[in-house]
Amino acid sequence: MEKMWAGRFAGTLDKEADDFNSSISFDSKMYREDIRGSMAHAAMLSAQNIISVEDADKIIAGLEEILSDLDSGKLMFNLDCEDIHMFVEAELTARIGDAGKKLHTARSRNDQVALDVRLYLRRRTNELIELTKKLISVICDKAEENKDAIMPGYTHLQRAQPITFGHHLLAYASMFVRDIGRMEDALKRMNLSPLGSCALAGTTYNTDREMVAKALDFDGIVINSLDGVSDRDFCLELMSAYSVTMMHLSRFSEEGILWSSWEFKFIELDDAYTTGSSIRPQKKNPDMAELVRGKTGRVYGNLMALLTTLKGLPLAYNKDMQEDKEAVFDSIETLEKCLSVFAPMIATMRVNRENMYKAAQGGFINATDLADYLVRKGLPFRSAYKIVGQIVAECIAKKTVLDELPLEAYKAHSELFDNDLYTDISLETCVEKRISAGGTCAASIDSQLCHIRKFLKN
């Protein structure tokens, strides 16, 4: 296939160099965006009398046909074309003749690709937001079912204080709500059209960039043409938002993996989301959760790769920038798959309340409540804290727990202790008394659920 620039060249491009240079194998994903952008551009060119109405009509009709043929599979990408932009233009010209050759007036592939990537990322990120919302909704349902399932809350992976499983799950829901916020913020900032920046300096034609921007649902235009073609910040911002979402999924995965181990047995993942071992018949492995945790690394890697690619680039377009697409596409597809498998994995997991409760009974996780008991009876917190520390040490030595230590033993530490201490340090009381805003009691969980579900509705 003859190159568009063949006129200036005496020789042809080496075959291997041609393959190396080509991006159509991956940027063809943006064919819808490329075609939509070209339609808006053609309409603007004719509105501004840069091309005739007849030519614009032919171009738009031709592009519509190409779009539907690609959608239906009637038309295949020609991998001999360097990229999706060249492919669409060549196909259009083959179909409608000379009018097709007018489409590229007053634009460059540099602003075209910047436009396509923005349009593509906008669509795909909105899909990721929907998937994240689905996950949040699944988490909310699980949390509601388990708002009275008592488990140990941990710090340093040491049992710390009793909480409910519902409360623990809703911590993740809050993280994913923020993740959506980060994606939406980035979308807002990037929703400006670079088209019309042309190669780098703008154009001598009397274009109407605002018209194109409006037709493509942008909030406005990029105001500097050099910036318009050089900027890939929006890729970085989104990839960073995706990375944080992956980090949250990865922490959640890690907990799921721990909780489903024989050592914890707090949950059991459904057969649909676990695998067996080829040699050990007893095994049930949390592969999906592990893969999500593992794939987090590649999403971080994509972000680092593009940051590094961009850091030394002079303005404006450099071919290095073609590297943006594989990185950001891979991050999108990875996050998409992770979210898609994660939501049903959480929806179908079984919760072993008994084991959670049993774990909560060990580890003196009601010790803070015992100290608070003494504070209510008039002791300063630090003194109460010290006494309870001594009682815990005594329990450990006697191989017993706070709930079973007899009252006389308590009284030996402080006369303030009475029989009511036992109800005060029961796990149920410990949880239900955490009434501070955002705490683990059932009323707080209800209010968290209400807050998050309201967010999902808007």
The type of residue at 324 is D
Long-range own/partner contacts, residues 403-409 (CB < 8 A, 24 or more apart)? 403/361, 403/366
Say how many residues touch ligand ARG, by CB under 6 A.
Answer: 10
CB neighbour list of residue 456: distance below 8 Å, 6 or more residues apart: 133, 136, 137, 140
Least separation in angstroms between residue 59's CB and ligand ARG is 20
Per CB under 6 A, the segment of 92-100, 314-322, 362-370, 387-395 that binds ligand ARG is: 314-322
- Pair of tokens at residue 159: 């049992």
- Pair of tokens at residue 308: 């590094």
Residue 213, H or E segment:
helix 209-215
Question: Among this protein's residues, is 168 annotated catalytic?
Answer: no
Whichever of 319 and 454 has its CB closer to ligand ARG, that residue is 319
Q: Which of residues 326-355 bind ligand ARG (CB under 6 A)?
A: none
From 277, 340, 383, 447, active-site residue: 277
Whichever of 281 and 312 has its CB closer to ligand ARG, that residue is 312
What is the residue-wise DSSP string for 164-189?
A: EHHHHHHHHHHHHHHHHHHHHHHHHH
Whichever of 167 and 325 has its CB closer to ligand ARG, that residue is 325
Binding mask 261-300 for ligand ARG (x = CB under 6 A): ----------------------------------------
| Inter-CA distances, 4 with 110, 168, 255, Å | 15, 59, 55
Residue 310, interface with ligand ARG (CB under 6 A)?
A: no
Identify the three-state secondary structure at position 183: helix
Least separation in angstroms between residue 113's CB and ligand ARG is 4
Residue 46, interface with ligand ARG (CB under 6 A)?
A: no
Q: Are 241 and 234 in contact (CB under 8 A)?
A: no
Phi, psi of 158 (to 5 degrees): -110, 140
Whichever of 115 and 421 has its CB closer to ligand ARG, that residue is 115
Provide the 8-state DSSP code for 314.
P
Residue 344, H or E segment:
helix 323-348
Residue 169, interface with ligand ARG (CB under 6 A)?
A: no
From 72, 156, 278, 436, active-site residue: 156
Q: Which of residues 60-119 bind ligand ARG (CB under 6 A)?
A: 83, 109-110, 113
Whichever of 27 and 369 has its CB closer to ligand ARG, that residue is 27
Question: Among this protein's residues, is 383 annotated catalytic?
Answer: no
Residue 306, interface with ligand ARG (CB under 6 A)?
A: no
Place of tokens 């909560």: 360
Q: Are 348 and 142 in contact (CB under 8 A)?
A: no
Residues that bind ligand ARG (CB under 6 A): 23, 27, 83, 109-110, 113, 317, 319, 321-322
Which residues are part of the catalytic machinery? 156, 277
